[in-house]
């Protein structure tokens, strides 16, 4: 009897779930300036679409890893389900390059309005703001690995666009520079690009020289067993953003076992920079949707 009852509940839940999640990942083929040929995919929950062009909802840009696709990050990350629950739009950009790493290495990519992947992704944000009337003050960015590198680069090149970012196992903005499109910087990957706080901050500030407005707050995740983008990249990224915010690199608080046993959370300055470092965690730190939404002020 109990088994039958459970079966009934499961069936009812499945029906409810399929009704709720009838929206799908859609490609948008015309979204504005797209010099680098980046592809745009979007997930708009039904409840958001129903509101039309005045939704006033947040946007999360969710950026895949090397070898990934928009579809893979859509099905392999929690953002679409969370979008159904909390009512926001997810943009999944897709890299135009073989191997699908992001161009975080060319001078154009590392320059405000430089006309590379960074500019194309911002075109996608502008398209989404105007098409859905989303909230320009609540545009967020996240990514894993190459997508995490891109998150740091977007925060540096377009600080006026993004209110906050979360970075899953990346490197500082500019660390991967090679001067070529879609390159690979082994020195940086292997954690041998060690610089002062000032040098890292200047590297980021140079990407949009003269900008004096608000900047995205940054949550940086990394694992101590990362053998792709080696662990020193955690501290170097913390140096970069604390430097940009004129904060001390020494944390104001350190919480071990937070948000779960193997992680340590360090908070800097007024709280605009936070690190979460996982002991024994490899590449990449598993996405923590609850941490992201709390950081973005969505949940
Ligand atoms: C951007 O380029 C890609 C690849 O050529 C194409 O699929 C997409 O439709 C383009 N979008 C725009 C807005 O030009
Ligand atoms: C990687 O970046 C470092 C500076 O951080 C630079 O010295 C090196 O030449 C770069 N590597 C490549 C392959 O461009
Ligand atoms: C990061 O910096 C802190 C403080 O300087 C140091 O204790 C820690 O070992 C560093 N971590 C890594 C991964 O380099
Ligand atoms: C950091 O300090 C510099 C120099 O005083 C200032 O121009 C800049 O606006 C400050 N940055 C932030 C984020 O407060
Ligand atoms: C921290 O200070 C910066 C300016 O330096 C400001 O933009 C930001 O909103 C502050 N963050 C918090 C969490 O108060």
pLDDT, one tens digit per residue, over 146-171 is: 999 999 999 999 999 999 999 999 99
**Phi/psi at 48 (5° precision):** -75, -45
125 pLDDT more than 70? yes
Using CA positions, which residue lies closest to atom 12 of ligand 4?
245
Tell me, yes or no, if 145 is annotated catalytic. Answer: yes
Distance CA 188, CA 173 (A): 11
Q: How confident is the model at residue 55 (pLDDT cuts 50, 70, 90)?
A: confident
Q: Pull the structure tokens for residue 148.
A: 């995490």
Closest CA to 279 of 257, 299, 296: 257
Distance 92 CA to ligand 4 centre (A): 32
Using CA positions, which residue lies closest to atom 6 of ligand 5?
214
Distance 106 CA to ligand 4 centre (A): 26
Integer CA distances (angstroms), 271 to 218, 241, 275, in order: 9, 11, 10
Spatial CB neighbours of 8, under 8 Å, sequence gap ≥ 6: none
Q: Residue 61: beta bridge partners?
A: 91, 141
Q: How confident is the model at residue 183 (pLDDT cuts 50, 70, 90)?
A: very high
Which residues have CB under 6 Å of ligand 1? 29-32, 34, 37-39, 96
Q: How confident is the model at residue 256 (pLDDT cuts 50, 70, 90)?
A: very high
Q: How confident is the model at residue 275 (pLDDT cuts 50, 70, 90)?
A: very high
How large a percentage of the chain has pLDDT more than 70?
Answer: 93
Q: Which residues of 135-170 are buried (b: 16+ CB within 10 A; e: fewer)?
A: beebbbbbbbbbbbbbbbbbbbbbbebbbbbbbbbb
Higher per-residue confidence, 14 vs 82: 82
Ligand 3, pocket-test mutation among 232, 233, 235, most atoms within 8 A of CB: 235
CA 10 to chain centre: 34
Q: How confident is the model at residue 102 (pLDDT cuts 50, 70, 90)?
A: very high
In whole numbers, what is the pLDDT of the chain averaged over residues? Answer: 93
Considering the candidates 55, 95, 144, 145, report the single residue annotated as catalytic.
145
- pLDDT computed for residue 53 by the predictor: 78
233 pLDDT more than 50? yes
Q: Can you list the domains of the chain with their CATH numbers? A: 3-13+26-296 (3.40.50.1820)
pTM (predicted TM-score): 0.92
Q: Average of pLDDT values for 23-49?
A: 95
Q: Which atom of ligand 4 is nearest to the CA of 212?
A: 9
Q: Pull the structure tokens for residue 184.
A: 């690979």
Distance 168 CA to ligand 3 centre (A): 18
- pLDDT computed for residue 8 by the predictor: 38
- pLDDT computed for residue 18 by the predictor: 43
- pLDDT computed for residue 182 by the predictor: 97
- pLDDT computed for residue 21 by the predictor: 54
Using CA positions, which residue lies closest to atom 2 of ligand 1?
37
Which residue's entry shows tokens 């161009």? 103
Using CA positions, which residue lies closest to atom 1 of ligand 4?
246
């Amino acid at each position: 009897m109990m088994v039958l009852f459970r079966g009934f509940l499961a069936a009812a839940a499945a029906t409810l779930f399929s009704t709720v999640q009838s929206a799908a990942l859609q490609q948008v083929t015309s979204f504005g300036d797209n010099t680098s040929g980046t592809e745009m995919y979007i997930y708009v929950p039904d409840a958001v679409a129903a509101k039309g062009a005045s939704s006033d909802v947040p946007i999360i840009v969710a950026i895949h890893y090397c070898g990934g696709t928009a579809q893979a990050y859509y099905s392999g990350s929690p953002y679409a389900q969370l979008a159904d629950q909390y009512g926001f739009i997810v943009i999944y950009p897709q890299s135009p390059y073989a191997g699908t790493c992001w161009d975080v290495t060319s001078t154009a990519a590392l320059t405000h309005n430089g006309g590379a992947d960074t500019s194309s992704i911002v075109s996608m944000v502008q398209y989404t703001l105007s098409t859905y009337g989303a909230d320009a003050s609540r545009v967020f960015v996240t990514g894993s690995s190459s997508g995490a590198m891109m998150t740091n680069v977007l925060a540096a090149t377009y600080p006026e666009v993004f209110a906050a970012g979360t970075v899953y196992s990346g490197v500082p903005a500019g660390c991967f520079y090679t001067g070529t499109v879609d390159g690979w910087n082994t020195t940086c990957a292997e954690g041998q690009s060690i610089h002062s706080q000032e040098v890292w901050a200047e590297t980021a500030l140079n990407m949009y020289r003269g900008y004096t407005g608000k900047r995205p707050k940054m949550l940086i995740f990394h694992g101590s067993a990362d053998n792709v983008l080696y662990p020193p990249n955690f501290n170097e990224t913390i140096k970069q953003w604390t430097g940009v915010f004129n904060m001390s690199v020494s944390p104001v608080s350190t919480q071990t076992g937070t948000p779960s046993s193997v992680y340590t959370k360090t908070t800097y300055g007024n709280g605009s920079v936070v690190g979460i470092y996982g002991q024994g965690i490899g590449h990449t730190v598993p996405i923590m949707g609850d941490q992201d939404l709390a950081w973005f002020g969505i949940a």
